[in-house]
């Protein structure tokens, strides 16, 4: 055996060096730090008189809260001033108008205070001119959206996006899918989603077609399927029905489910396209024509997706999680059953979490 060589490093320095190496190793093994806060941009709020309105998340301590009259920052946007236009209560995460505020007062909206209302009797209804949009930071969370990746149910889409080249999507459904109350086409949820796909798969040529028709239920969806979907030869079809099916006198759930199954069957048999279903959020509970059973139609949509092995995006559940602290009016562009720009962002985030 060869004799061990004596170290030329002094003993005290050797111990110091060993401790330094150990410390570096321990730091390397520590989990990466979570961000101190997450940013919310353009959360929509309706303010009624001087009543407090809740933000969806409790803002981080000492974080600034910024209000404006446009969804996203814009040079033409009017910024509202704390103390002059609004009062912010950090402990409760609420905002309220001041007596002389420049923020619109929802008490002047034609539907304010109306119960079981028929919107057709109130010309000019809608919330677009009444929103204030809020930017703020809140403590980080890892539980929203609650949406499992659907990539395993969309193998052809995954492979084709990875390969590059043309990739064609049809967005099919009712007026929500048609873009109802999005103030710009690029803010419609499926347009934002398609843009995200283009960014993640720069070799692909992603196109998305609006095949939706306002007022349609799954009954009309089946009637229009050939022209609006099958003739377009899509690779992926995004299907969102339920809002009109669920209305009073609408489509019973067993028929709703069968209509969705038939759409999926015909799409797959036509050219092998894959399908992603998504649920809808609850409309304004004060609206006369809603059955207010949207949770049942959302559950039915999820059942059909599971039975047919179609992908599923849980808009309904994630909408409820986000809106738990908010009034229905805060997220409704038409004050009935259309998401506003921020509501379209919520849809987009759920689709984004599906993993393509």
Q: How far apart are CA 148 and CA 193, in angstroms?
A: 16
Per-residue pLDDT band at 172 (split at 50, 70, 90): very high
DSSP track, 248-280: TT---HHHHHHHHHHHHHHHHHHH--EEEEE--
Lowest mean pLDDT among 6-15, 87-96, 287-296: 6-15
CB 305 within 8 A of CB 237: no
| pLDDT beyond 90 at 1 | no
Average of per-residue pLDDT across 165-173: 98
Per-residue pLDDT band at 61 (split at 50, 70, 90): confident
Average of per-residue pLDDT across 141-164: 95
| pLDDT beyond 90 at 174 | yes
Contacts of 98 (CB under 8 A, 6+ apart): 50, 83, 84, 85, 86, 87
For residue 32, the model assigns a pLDDT of 45
CB 208 within 8 A of CB 194: yes
% of the chain residues with pLDDT over 70: 90
| pLDDT beyond 60 at 25 | no
For residue 245, the model assigns a pLDDT of 98
Q: How far apart are CA 29 and CA 202, in angstroms?
A: 34
User: What CA–CA distances, in Å, run from 115 to 264, 286, 289, 317?
Assistant: 38, 5, 12, 25
Q: Which long-range contacts (CB under 8 A, 24 or more apart) does 325-329 make?
A: 325/54, 325/55, 325/56, 325/57, 325/93, 326/45, 326/53, 326/54, 326/55, 326/56, 327/46, 327/53, 328/282, 328/283, 328/284, 328/285, 328/286, 329/46, 329/106, 329/127, 329/284
- 3-state secondary structure at position 54: strand
pLDDT in tens, 43-57: 999 999 999 999 999
Beta-strand relationship, 86-89 and 204-210: unpaired
For residue 142, the model assigns a pLDDT of 76
Q: Which residue did the predictor score with more confidence, 16 or 294?
A: 294
For residue 143, the model assigns a pLDDT of 84
Q: Name the average pLDDT for the chain.
A: 91
For residue 28, the model assigns a pLDDT of 35
Place of tokens 């489509």: 251
Count Cβ atoms below 10 Å from residue 205 Cβ, excluding itself: 11
pLDDT in tens, 237-284: 999 999 999 999 999 999 999 999 999 999 999 999 999 999 999 999
pLDDT in tens, 178-235: 999 999 999 999 999 999 999 999 999 999 999 999 999 999 999 999 999 999 999 9
* Delimiting residues of CATH 3.40.50.1110 domain(s) in the chain: 151-352
In this structure, what token pair is assigned to residue 201?
């798969």
Degrees (nearest 5) of the Cα angle 83, 87, 88? 125
In this structure, what token pair is assigned to residue 287?
């609206």
| pLDDT beyond 60 at 24 | no
Q: How far apart are CA 27 and CA 334, in angstroms?
A: 53
% of the chain residues with pLDDT over 90: 87
For residue 9, the model assigns a pLDDT of 38
For residue 34, the model assigns a pLDDT of 53
Per-residue pLDDT band at 11 (split at 50, 70, 90): very low
For residue 68, the model assigns a pLDDT of 98
Superfamily of segment(s) 151-352: SGNH hydrolase (3.40.50.1110)
For residue 250, the model assigns a pLDDT of 97
Per-residue pLDDT band at 105 (split at 50, 70, 90): very high
């Amino acid at each position: 055996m060869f004799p061990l060589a004596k170290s030329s490093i002094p003993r005290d320095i050797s111990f110091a060096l060993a401790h330094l190496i150990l410390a570096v190793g321990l730091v390397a093994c520590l989990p990466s730090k979570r961000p101190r806060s997450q940013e919310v941009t353009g959360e929509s709020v309706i303010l009624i008189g001087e009543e407090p309105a809740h933000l969806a998340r409790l803002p981080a301590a000492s974080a600034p809260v910024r209000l404006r009259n446009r969804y996203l920052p814009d040079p033409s946007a009017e910024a509202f001033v704390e103390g002059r236009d609004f009062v912010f209560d950090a402990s409760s995460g609420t905002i309220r108008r001041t007596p002389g505020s420049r923020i619109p007062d929802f008490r002047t909206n034609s539907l304010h205070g109306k119960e079981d209302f028929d919107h057709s009797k109130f010309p000019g209804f809608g919330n677009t001119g009444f929103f204030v949009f809020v930017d703020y930071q809140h403590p980080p969370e890892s539980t929203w959206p609650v949406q499992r990746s659907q990539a395993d149910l969309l193998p052809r889409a995954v492979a084709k996006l990875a390969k590059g080249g043309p990739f064609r999507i049809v967005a099919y459904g009712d007026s929500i899918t048609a873009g109802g109350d999005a103030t710009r086409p690029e803010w419609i949820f499926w347009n934002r989603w398609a843009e995200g796909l283009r960014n993640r798969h720069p070799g692909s040529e992603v196109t998305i077609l609006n095949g939706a028709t306002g007022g349609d239920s799954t009954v009309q969806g089946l009637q229009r399927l050939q022209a609006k979907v099958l003739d377009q030869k899509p690779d992926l079809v995004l299907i969102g029905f339920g809002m009109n099916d669920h209305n009073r006198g609408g489509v019973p759930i067993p028929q709703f489910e069968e209509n969705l199954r038939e759409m999926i069957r015909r799409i797959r048999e036509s050219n092998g396209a894959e399908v992603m279903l998504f649920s809808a959020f609850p409309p304004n509970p004060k609206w006369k024509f809603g059955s207010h059973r949207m949770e049942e139609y959302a559950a039915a949509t999820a059942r059909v997706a599971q039975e047919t092995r179609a992908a599923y995006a849980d808009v309904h559940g994630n909408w409820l999680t986000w809106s738990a602290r908010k009034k229905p009016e805060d997220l409704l562009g038409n004050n009935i059953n259309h998401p506003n720009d921020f509501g379209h962002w919520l849809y987009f985030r759920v689709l984004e979490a599906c993993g393509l």
